[in-house]
Chains A and B, each alone.
Chain A
Amino acid sequence: KQEVTQIPAALSVPEGENLVLNCSFTDSAIYNLQWFRQDPGKGLTSLLLIQSSQREQTSGRLNASLDKSSGRSTLYIAASQPGDSATYLCVFSGSARQLTFGSGTQLTVLP
């Protein structure tokens, strides 16, 4: 059974810091991996999608990488801002129909 683990579970940083969120998965048969943010009481907002043939994707201050051989993905956030405070989820799409969600990293950026 596919397992997706996110480390750390929670992170609190001062504004302006660069930070890295980690996601690991056990099934190497990957279609893609998608990073989302979820604000309290809200739905999921897609941040970055990495296809299995890609190694990284960038959007603004965000950069996501994918290493299939080690079963890892990282989300790098540069120059963090208080508005980045949210729960970040990595979601694995593989050979099984179901999407597999990571446990999430709750990020707090302090002004």
Chain B
Amino acid sequence: GAGVSQSPRYKVAKRGQDVALRCDPISGHVSLFWYQQALGQGPEFLTYFQNEAQLDKSGLPSDRFFAERPEGSVSTLKIQRTQQEDSAVYLCASSLVRGNGYTFGSGTRLTVV
């Protein structure tokens, strides 16, 4: 597609439920980021991929968060045993190469009840 596609657009999860958020980057884009944006706050870094390699996962808030990009294209962010503080918009961004500028998806709004 022409842009970065994220699904689902909205997700409501009961506390303790596992969720999986999908990011479909622009075809051929090597770099991929995940960011978490709480209400009224700026985006916070979660993790970075270069192709299939997860080069930086220092922003993942706990071991309940896991991200993968097995074939270097689609990426999935998984959150296990969701908690209320996980409620946020999860943004994905991709770039052809580092330094080329990034395209962001529309985000997935996760609400944990």
User: A interface vs B, CB < 8 Å?
Assistant: 31-32, 34, 36, 41-46, 49, 51, 89, 91, 93, 97-99, 101-104
Known: A44-B91, A104-B42. A97 touches B56 (CB 8 A): yes
What A residues does B42 contact at CB under 8 A? 89, 101-104
Interchain CA distance A7-B105 in the complex, whole Å:
26
What B residues does A89 contact at CB under 8 A? 42
Distance from B50 Cβ to chain A, minimum over Cβ atoms (Å): 9
What B residues does A91 contact at CB under 8 A? 102
Q: Please report the number of residue pairs spanning A and B whose Cβ atoms sit closer than 8 angstroms.
A: 52
Q: Is the CB of B104 within 8 A of A32?
A: no
Asked whether any CB of chain A lies closer than 8 Å to the CB of B1, the reply is: no
Asked whether any CB of chain A lies closer than 8 Å to the CB of B109, the reply is: yes
Give the interface size bracket for B toward A: 20 to 34
Interchain CA distance A102-B56 in the complex, whole Å:
21
Interchain CA distance A93-B101 in the complex, whole Å:
8
Q: Is the CB of A51 within 8 A of B99?
A: yes
User: B interface vs A, CB < 8 Å?
Assistant: 6, 33, 42-43, 45, 48, 55-56, 59, 91, 93, 98-107, 109
Q: Is the CB of B102 within 8 A of A46?
A: yes
Q: Is the CB of B99 within 8 A of A93?
A: yes
Interchain CA distance A41-B43 in the complex, whole Å:
13
Instruction: Other than A44-B104, A97-B56, A101-B43, give 11 A-B pairs with Cβ distance below 8 A.
Output: A31-B99, A34-B102, A41-B109, A43-B104, A98-B48, A98-B56, A98-B59, A99-B45, A99-B102, A101-B42, A104-B42
Q: Out of B6, B55, B93, B103, which one reaches A97, CB within 8 Å?
A: B55
What B residues does A93 contact at CB under 8 A? 98-99, 101-102
Distance from B40 Cβ to chain A, minimum over Cβ atoms (Å): 10
What B residues does A32 contact at CB under 8 A? 99-101
